């Protein structure tokens, strides 16, 4: 199946360095390598792809293997598993054997990713390839120009451009050239990441229904606090927990939607074609007052603003202490034993009946970046095209082992692929996926909303997908953040500088307002601070990008 049927995730990476081609010096991160069995990289300078290789060249423009004799390239990758190294993953080993393209892997942990990558670009100490999201807006000039290689050697990428014309625009840099390729999840489920889940067992215990309004939600949280819904005779219930405000799936941001505004990582959402800066809106003030009411009555987890993501993902394991939480899926935070214990809550109606939630554009802009240091970009373009050539290949790179994380199924006489399969109670699907694949940081762009792949398919024991149900209930109320695409270098740098100060201020302001209260005087001071932080200029820069 071609890429148009399924191309194998929103963040991050691996760097490939042509070890024998001398494309890059040693990276500042600790490295783990898988050398080619007989490595000999070409030292030839980058040739125009129109100049077809000679008959005795090591490079094959079509078919397999890509290289007649194995060669090794240096790759810097975003580390998704601390248990299984990239060099040992089956998808890589199988692909390397089939293509004769081997990698000297340098894996960088999430906490150090941005810093290490920035150092590499600043020092021009680059590998052959990065796998993972990087700041291409300011760094694309140090990446290889890929247009001609794509035209000559990447039929599956060209098919993507034919099927999805927006991708050529998304991938085009300000110089009019393509310097990077998409990887990661373009999944239906990723349209909304930050969602509210509530403990159905606790609702039954206190005699309440799933709340539909902010008032009903407040009343349910009160019952959770006062009625010992976990039945252990202890006041250990935490009615509502989350991790941060605009954090990926765990933040509180989408609950601002009940007050006619939406918080995002950029603090910008789009309404009627206009970039809106949420923290200056009246609804933001009303939301903070509501959250302060919850906090002051002990209904919000006091650790919500200080806990790390690891702590958030571990505090509820093996326990029954949370009534409601923000998460991508509740059991990703609480463990597989809670998979059926939590039900999704559609956007709550606010005091004036408003229901809003933020949706994401699921197009992927970056994920694979071949650098200007690479002597043979045509090889890596062909390698990328190959791992995006079929649904099966994409699932191996993005999901892992067949019959563990995905399997072949037949639905209504049609052969398909099933994912999100039922798992044992002691299994954590995201960890299992990361240990056997490149998970959300896969260099293959796969599209789960395509017909070939279905979520939670078990023909012998069909079950609903609570996440899909919740998205379908939420999308009628969705507004979007900023679209996918590349801004000018100047605007990107200006926005980044402004956002750094805006972020620092808002993190303190929002936490203080929720914990200690907010009134008209504090709100007016807040608006003055936003003006000092040049949020109007920041919003205008976003509007210019939106207009383009």
- Using CA atoms, how far apart are residues 202 and 223, in angstroms rounded to an integer? 9
- DSSP state for residue 20 in the 8-state scheme: T
Between 4-8, 52-56, 360-364, 513-517, the lowest mean confidence (pLDDT) is in 4-8
Region 398-425 average pLDDT: 79
Q: Per-residue pLDDT for 31 more than 80? A: no
Decide: 126 and 371 in contact? Cβ < 8 Å.
yes
What are the pLDDT digits (tens) for 83-133? Answer: 999 999 999 999 999 999 999 999 999 889 999 999 999 999 999 999 998
Decide: 189 and 329 in contact? Cβ < 8 Å.
no
Decide: 546 and 483 in contact? Cβ < 8 Å.
yes
Q: Per-residue pLDDT for 1 more than 80? A: no
Between 238-247, 281-290, 462-471, the lowest mean confidence (pLDDT) is in 462-471
The structure tokens listed for 537 are: 């200029």
Q: Per-residue pLDDT for 29 more than 80? A: no
Is residue 417 very low, low, confident or very high in pLDDT (cuts 50, 70, 90)?
confident
Is residue 35 very low, low, confident or very high in pLDDT (cuts 50, 70, 90)?
very low
Strands (E) across 403-444 are located at 406-411, 414-419
Is residue 335 very low, low, confident or very high in pLDDT (cuts 50, 70, 90)?
confident
Q: Per-residue pLDDT for 365 more than 70? A: yes
Q: Per-residue pLDDT for 307 more than 60? A: yes
H helices within 305-401, ranges in order? 309-312, 330-334, 377-387, 391-398
Is residue 452 very low, low, confident or very high in pLDDT (cuts 50, 70, 90)?
confident
pLDDT at residue 186 in the model:
74
Backbone phi, psi, residue 178, to 5°? -100, 125
pLDDT at residue 170 in the model:
87
To the nearest whole number, what is the mean pLDDT of the chain?
A: 85
Between β-strands 445-446 and 478-480, what pairing exists: parallel, antiparallel or unpaired?
unpaired
- Using CA atoms, how far apart are residues 336 and 334, in angstroms rounded to an integer? 7
Task: Count CB neighbours of 179 within 10 A.
Answer: 24
Q: Per-residue pLDDT for 246 more than 80? A: yes
- Using CA atoms, how far apart are residues 122 and 117, in angstroms rounded to an integer? 9
The structure tokens listed for 451 are: 């017909």
Between 96-100, 140-144, 423-427, the lowest mean confidence (pLDDT) is in 423-427
pLDDT at residue 403 in the model:
85
Region 314-324 average pLDDT: 93
Between 49-63, 79-93, 529-543, the lowest mean confidence (pLDDT) is in 49-63
Polymer length of the chain:
548
Question: Phi/psi class of residue 124: alpha, beta or left (left: φ > 0; alpha: ψ in -120 to 50)?
Answer: left
- Using CA atoms, how far apart are residues 369 and 146, in angstroms rounded to an integer? 10
Task: Express as a percent the part of the chain with pLDDT over 90.
Answer: 62
pLDDT at residue 15 in the model:
31
- Using CA atoms, how far apart are residues 356 and 268, in angstroms rounded to an integer? 14
Between 17-26, 72-81, 435-444, the lowest mean confidence (pLDDT) is in 17-26
Between 146-155, 333-342, 366-375, 515-524, the lowest mean confidence (pLDDT) is in 333-342
- DSSP state for residue 25 in the 8-state scheme: -
Cis peptide before 365 (omega within 30 of 0): no
Residues linked to residue 445 through DSSP beta bridges, in sequence order: 184
pLDDT at residue 318 in the model:
87
* DSSP letter for each residue of 182-221: E-EE--GGGG---EEEEEHHHHHHHT-PPP-BHHHHHHHH
Nearest one of 126, 131, 143, 128 to 17, comparing CA atoms = 128
Between 24 and 367, residue with greater pLDDT: 367
What are the pLDDT digits (tens) for 493-532? Answer: 899 999 999 999 999 999 999 999 999 999 999 999 999 9
- Using CA atoms, how far apart are residues 423 and 434, in angstroms rounded to an integer? 15
pLDDT at residue 354 in the model:
96
Is residue 421 very low, low, confident or very high in pLDDT (cuts 50, 70, 90)?
low
pLDDT at residue 532 in the model:
98
pLDDT at residue 20 in the model:
30
Q: Per-residue pLDDT for 181 more than 50? A: yes
Between 275 and 44, residue with greater pLDDT: 275
- Using CA atoms, how far apart are residues 98 and 265, in angstroms rounded to an integer? 41
pLDDT at residue 397 in the model:
94
Residues linked to residue 402 through DSSP beta bridges, in sequence order: 406
Decide: 243 and 304 in contact? Cβ < 8 Å.
yes
Indicate the SS3 state at residue 48: coil
Region 253-266 average pLDDT: 95
Q: b or e along 193-203 (b: 16 or more beta carbons within 10 Å of the residue's beta carbon)?
A: bbbbbbbeebb
Is residue 222 very low, low, confident or very high in pLDDT (cuts 50, 70, 90)?
very high
Whole-angstrom CA distances from 126 to 96, 130, 374, 379 are: 22, 9, 9, 17
The structure tokens listed for 185 are: 């999840």
Whole-angstrom CA distances from 472 to 105, 333, 408 are: 40, 22, 25
Is residue 425 very low, low, confident or very high in pLDDT (cuts 50, 70, 90)?
low
Extract long-range pairs of 276-282: CB within 8 Å, 24+ residues apart: 276/539, 277/530, 277/535, 277/536, 277/538, 277/539, 279/506, 279/509, 279/526, 279/530, 279/535, 280/527, 280/530, 280/535
Region 378-386 average pLDDT: 97
Between 492 and 90, residue with greater pLDDT: 90
Between 338 and 20, residue with greater pLDDT: 338
């Amino acid at each position: 199946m071609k890429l148009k049927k399924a191309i194998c995730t929103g963040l991050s990476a691996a760097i490939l360095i042509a070890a024998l081609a001398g494309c890059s010096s040693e990276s500042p991160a600790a490295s783990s390598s898988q050398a080619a069995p007989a490595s000999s990289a070409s030292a030839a300078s980058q040739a125009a792809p129109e100049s077809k290789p000679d008959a005795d060249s090591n490079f094959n423009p079509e078919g397999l293997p890509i290289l007649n004799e194995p060669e090794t390239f240096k790759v810097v990758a975003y580390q998704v598993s601390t248990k299984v190294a990239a060099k040992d993953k089956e998808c890589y080993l199988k692909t390397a054997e089939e293509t004769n393209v081997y990698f000297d892997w340098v894996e960088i942990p999430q906490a150090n990713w941005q810093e290490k990558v920035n150092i590499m670009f600043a020092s021009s100490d680059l590998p052959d390839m990065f796998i993972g999201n990087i700041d291409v807006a300011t760094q694309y000039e140090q990446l290889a120009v890929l247009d001609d290689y794509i035209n000559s050697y990447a039929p599956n990428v060209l098919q993507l451009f034919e099927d999805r014309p927006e991708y050529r625009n998304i991938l085009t840099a300000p110089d009019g050239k393509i310097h990077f390729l998409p990887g990661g999840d373009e999944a239906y489920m990723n349209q909304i990441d930050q969602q509210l889940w509530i403990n159905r067992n606790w609702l039954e215990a206190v005699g309440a229904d799933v709340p539909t309004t902010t008032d009903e939600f407040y009343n349910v949280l009160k019952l959770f606090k006062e009625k010992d819904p976990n039945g252990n005779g202890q006041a250990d219930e935490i009615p509502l927990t989350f991790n941060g405000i605009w954090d990926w799936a765990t933040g509180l941001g989408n609950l601002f939607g009940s007050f006619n505004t939406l918080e995002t990582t950029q603090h910008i959402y789009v309404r009627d074609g206009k970039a809106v800066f949420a923290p200056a809106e009246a609804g933001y003030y009303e939301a903070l007052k509501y959250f302060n009411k919850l906090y002051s009555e002990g209904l919000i987890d006091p650790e919500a603003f200080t806990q790390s993501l690891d702590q958030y993902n571990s505090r509820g394991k093996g326990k029954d202490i949370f009534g409601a939480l923000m998460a991508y899926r509740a059991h990703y935070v609480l463990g597989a034993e809670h998979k059926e214990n939590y039900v999704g809550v559609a956007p709550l109606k606010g005091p004036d009946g408003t229901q809003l939630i933020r949706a994401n554009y699921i197009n992927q802009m970056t994920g694979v970046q071949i650098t200007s240091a690479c002597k043979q970009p045509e090889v890596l373009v062909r390698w990328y095209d190959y791992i995006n050539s079929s649904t099966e290949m994409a699932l191996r790179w993005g999901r892992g082992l067949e019959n563990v994380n995905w399997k072949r199924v037949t639905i209504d006489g049609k052969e398909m692929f099933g994912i999100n399969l039922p798992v044992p109670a002691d299994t954590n699907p995201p960890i299992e996926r990361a240990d056997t694949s490149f998970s959300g940081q896969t260099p293959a762009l796969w599209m789960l909303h395509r017909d070939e792949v279905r979520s939670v398919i078990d023909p012998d024991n069909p079950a609903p997908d609570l996440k899909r149900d919740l998205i379908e209930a939420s999308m009628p109320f969705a507004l979007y953040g900023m679209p996918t695409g590349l801004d000018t270098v100047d605007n990107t740098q200006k926005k980044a500088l402004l956002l750094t100060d805006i972020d620092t201020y808002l993190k303190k302001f929002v936490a203080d307002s929720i914990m200690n209260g907010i009134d008209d005087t504090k709100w007016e001071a807040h608006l003055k601070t936003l003006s000092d932080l040049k949020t109007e200029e920041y919003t205008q820069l976003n509007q210019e990008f939106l207009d383009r």
